[in-house]
Amino acid sequence: MNRHSRRSQNHQKNSVLQGIVKRHPDGFGFFIPDNPEFPDVYIPRQEMSGIMTNDRLSISSYPERGGHRFRGEVIEILSRANTRVMGKFEKLEKYKGVIRDRSGAWGSDLVLDTGDIEVESGKLV
């Protein structure tokens, strides 16, 4: 029995797993469980909203039909890998703006409320 088969046998039914995710620029991700007995899990694009590479997640994983691959649904973001990001500010309103996710690494644009501080468009924040 090869390693992949043994890992798949341990993961035949729905499982709740914890681990980290690697985000692909196209929006989907691959979840890497903490437990090496379980295989990596595909996370579809619609489940990846607001999730960045190396965020720690809790997911529900289930086998896809007809194969040894697994698909997951995000239950919870346990911790963030990145607590700071930097980008070019685009002003939307007097005290509101956005940093665009041009790389696809964040999963969505970040809308910022600047409080009572007026920030010019084009500034790095």
- To which H or E segment does residue 9 belong? helix 3-9
- Note the pLDDT tens digit of each residue in 40-67: 999 999 999 889 899 999 999 999 887 7
Q: 89: buried, middle or exposed (CB in 10 Å: 19+, 13-18, 0-12)?
A: buried
- Domain span at residue 91 reads 84-117
Residue 112 lies in a domain: yes
**Cα dihedral 9/12/14/15 (nearest 10):** 0
Q: Is residue 4's pLDDT more than 70? A: no
The answer on 46 and 32 residing in a single domain is: yes
The answer on 21 and 38 residing in a single domain is yes
Higher pLDDT, 76 or 89: 76
Kindly state whether residue 15 falls inside one of the protein's structural domains. Answer: yes
Number of folded domains that form the chain? 2
What's residue 11's pLDDT? 52
**Same domain, yes or no, for 13 and 62?**
yes
Q: Is the pTM for the entire model greater than 0.85?
A: no
Please check whether residues 30 and 65 belong to one and the same domain.
Answer: yes
Distance set, CA 16 to CA 13, 21, 72, 85, 88 (Å): 10, 14, 9, 30, 38
Asked whether 48 and 27 are in contact (CB, 8 A), the reply is yes
Picking from 58-62, 89-93, 95-99, 119-123, which range would have the lowest pLDDT averaged per residue?
119-123
Could you tell me if 44 and 12 lie in one domain? Answer: yes
The one-character DSSP state at 124 is B
Residue 34 placed within a domain: yes
